[in-house]
Amino acid sequence: MLVLELRNIDLNPFETNGISYEQAEFLHLFLFYLLWKDEGNNCDEWIKMGDSYNDVVALEHPLEHTQFEVEAKNMIDEMEHLAEILDLTISDTLFVNLREMLMDPSKTLAGRLYKESEKSSQGQVATCIAKENYKKSWDKPYQLTGFTDMELSTQILMFDCLQQGIKVEVLDRQDQFLKLQLKDHVEYVKNGNMTSKDSYVSPLIMENKTVTKKILQQHGFRVPTGEEFNDIEHALNSYNMFSAKPFVVKPKTTNYGLGISIFKQEANYEDYQKAITLAFKEDSSVLIEEFLYGTEYRFFVLHDKVQAVLLRVPANVKGDGEHTIEELVIEKNRDPLRGKDHRTPLETIQLGDLENLMLKGQGYQMNSIPKNGEIVYLRENSNVSTGGDSIDVTDQIPDDYKKIAVDAVSALGAKISGIDLIIENIEVPAANKNAYGIIEANFNPSMYMHIYPYKGESRRLTMHIIHFLFPELLQS
């Protein structure tokens, strides 16, 4: 295997990582060009000439045109021709920018740095850039550079593994599949906490809400009553069964709160129809269940112990008496903790059909202006994945409710689960009738929302996963 080391490439001080994508793209093409270009048999001669050119260019003024402008133009033309021959995918701006730098040296790295330094000094420019980069880095401290396209819990797990001396190999980047190795000990992990410690059937049980509910009910846990529907017509014809009481419509197997509609009061047929339609978009089977009153808590259970409890507040905005609900959502979404596709600790608040349905039930529209201090909820379900706020309450939850969560996960035969309890009053003992209800068990619970909560103490669940998989780390 041939290894080439590029020793004459300047770092780009204007890029956080010292090099831009376009620069890397240029270097890739440039190496192809060097392999392709015929320089004859006298290697010593053209190497000597290259050294001479390099010495001349290094001493040229940053804002002056290079003495080798003609050669440089020819080289760019030849590289562009090579890219066409090889049918390489190249950024549209690459050759445009290369030619612009030849025509205007102030656009080169040296030229840009020289121009910036005229206002102060190179030291001050460098310090200013460093402070900006530092601020950007700590705006999103949760990201693992080079892997920001991966799911956030996986990024955090990878970071912690590397800190512990565990070798990390990404087997499938898109599928978040990792190989972790500590000496001869190998573990495979998918999506941050799907491991060999859980049997194959456990995730299948938790994925199926009907099966989950039946097993928990058989073990004496309280779960909401309801019906399952496998076709939209049958569900729509059952409107009168549910319309006069609080109920929840949700897909049978999907996670992340997708397609869930909650009606705390009577629902008209039009809204019921919308809720059923939205749920069937997410799954071929839909559950309609009784609505349990109380506060929803997410218990993260690992190996017969509750490691974290989260209070999840549904997506909301706080009125200021001046801005519309839509404007308030846009402003709240500017928080660097918010993003999309589980790459950030919090998800952006959406403004779709479910949110409009929720606002309609409260007498609002997107252009309504709520009063100063008024909280307006855009979702009933409290999933962080649908824009909710996460608040750590681990230390506030009594042990009897934690035991309920642990025992429920054990009944499902799982080692790792995020189990959701509705509790009306945590000061009431869990043994009291209807003190709680279990509404869901999740086989691949998000960890990042516990590690970077909207409010409250961080719980580094990824470290608990690592110690669960590699207990020898605790013995050394």
CA 46 to chain centre: 50
Residues 84 and 21 in one domain: yes
* Per-residue model confidence (pLDDT) at position 313: 87
Please give the Cα distance from 53 to 179 (Å, whole number). 48
Which of 346, 361, 386 represents a domain boundary (last residue)? 386
Q: Tokens for 325, please give them.
A: 């609900």
Residues 21 and 130 in one domain: yes
Contact status, residue 182 vs residue 470, Cβ threshold 8 Å: yes
Helix (H, G, I), strand (E, B) or coil at 91: coil
What type of residue is 408?
A: A
Q: Write the DSSP string, 364-382.
A: --TT--PPTT-EEES-SS-
* Per-residue model confidence (pLDDT) at position 141: 83
Please give the Cα distance from 346 to 336 (Å, whole number). 9
Residues 332 and 376 in one domain: yes
Report phi then psi at 349, rounded to 5. Answer: -80, 130
Residues 125 and 19 in one domain: yes
Is 121 part of any domain? Answer: yes
Residues 157 and 119 in one domain: no
SS (H, E, C) 280-307: HHHCCCEEEEECCCCEEEEEEEECCCEE
As a 3-state breakdown, the chain gives helix, strand, coil percent values, each rounded to 5, of 40, 15, 40
Is 450 part of any domain? Answer: no
User: What is the layout of strands, in order, in the sheet containing 177-182?
Assistant: 167-172, 177-182, 185-190
Please give the Cα distance from 440 to 83 (Å, whole number). 54
Residues 122 and 191 in one domain: no
Please give the Cα distance from 7 to 354 (Å, whole number). 56
Contact status, residue 391 vs residue 455, Cβ threshold 8 Å: yes
Contact status, residue 329 vs residue 351, Cβ threshold 8 Å: yes
The DSSP bridge pattern shows strands 375-377 and 316-318 to be antiparallel
Residues 157 and 133 in one domain: no
Residues 321 and 381 in one domain: yes
Is 363 part of any domain? Answer: yes
Q: Tokens for 383, please give them.
A: 């999933």
Please give the Cα distance from 92 to 88 (Å, whole number). 12
What type of residue is 246?
A: P
User: What is the layout of strands, in order, in the sheet containing 389-392?
Assistant: 389-392, 306-313, 295-302, 416-423, 436-442
* Per-residue model confidence (pLDDT) at position 6: 67
Partner residues linked to 347 by β-bridges: 339
What type of residue is 448?
A: Y
Contact status, residue 330 vs residue 435, Cβ threshold 8 Å: no
Residues 271 and 363 in one domain: no
Is 319 part of any domain? Answer: yes
CA 445 to chain centre: 13
Is 299 part of any domain? Answer: no
* Per-residue model confidence (pLDDT) at position 341: 81
Please give the Cα distance from 274 to 271 (Å, whole number). 5
Residues 111 and 182 in one domain: no
CATH code of 279's domain = 3.30.1490.20
Report phi then psi at 456, rounded to 5. Answer: 100, -175
Instruction: Walk along the chain (476 residues) in steps of 10 and give the mean pLDDT of each run.
Output: 64 86 92 85 80 89 94 95 92 94 94 91 91 83 89 95 97 96 97 94 91 94 88 87 84 73 83 89 88 91 97 91 94 89 86 86 91 90 79 97 98 96 95 93 93 94 98 88
Is 283 part of any domain? Answer: yes
Residues 19 and 97 in one domain: yes
* Per-residue model confidence (pLDDT) at position 237: 87
Neighbours of 417 (CB within 10 A): 29
Residues 17 and 126 in one domain: yes
Please give the Cα distance from 213 to 206 (Å, whole number). 9
Q: List the domain range (segments joined by +) for residue 254.
A: 228-289
Measuring CA to CA, which residue among 43, 35, 41 is closest to residue 85? 35
Is 103 part of any domain? Answer: yes
* Per-residue model confidence (pLDDT) at position 292: 84
Is 158 part of any domain? Answer: yes
Please give the Cα distance from 71 to 145 (Å, whole number). 38
* Per-residue model confidence (pLDDT) at position 170: 97
Find the length of the chain. 476
Give how many domains the chain has, as a whole number.
4
Please give the Cα distance from 7 to 28 (Å, whole number). 15
